Structure formats: C-alpha cells, structure tokens
Structure 1
C-alpha cells in the first residue's frame, strides 16, 4: 500500500494533478491506519488478551 501511495504522489506531481497528489497522501494515511490495526491484532494474539491498548495510548496524545 505504501508503494501505491508513493506511485500516486509521484504520478500526480509529474502530471501536475493536485487530486492525484492528494490521493497519494490519503493512501499513505490508509496504509498507516491499516498497519496500526495489524499491530493491535498482533499484540492481542501475543498477549492473549481481548484488547491491547498500546495503539490507543500512543495515538491519544
């Protein structure tokens, strides 16, 4: 997903297309959110708990 985001941003910049450039940023954010969910699932499975609050603590400020 991160390669797709980079490709969209690069193509948008090359074509001077602000919509495609912004879509690249949105795809990057989607990838980061997906990685956070996967990290939470991994922590849940390793800890054997119903929920892992580490991502919540990290992103709550």
Structure 2
C-alpha cells in the first residue's frame, strides 16, 4: 500500500493484466494539482479508492 501511487509500481504482476503502473500515479498527481487527494482502503476482498477535491465556487456563473 505504501508504494501504490509510485510511478511504474505494479504490485503482483499477473499475465492476464497489462499496464505500465502509471494510472494511480497520474490520478494522484491530478488530484494533488487541484488541491485534492486520493485515499485507499483495502481488504482481501476489495480495494476502495476515494477522491476528495475542494469545493470551488464560481460566483461569476450567474
């Protein structure tokens, strides 16, 4: 879990799953660039990702 958002980290590699290990890294960088974050909880049955972003009010859109 500590390395999950590192670029090119793929965890347990399986023949049935392709990828470069960049998806979660890119997603976390986008969230951080907008002042947000990605949190993850995991059990043996499932992993759950929650993206939190700050509320931005646009008062000019009237």
Tell me: higher relative CO, structure 1 or 2? Use CA pairs within 8 A at least 6 residues apart: 1
Common fold by TM > 0.5: no
TM-score by length of structure 2 reads: 0.29
Greater helix fraction, Structure 1 or Structure 2? 1
Bigger fraction of residues in strand: 2
Q: TM-score, normalised by structure 1?
A: 0.29
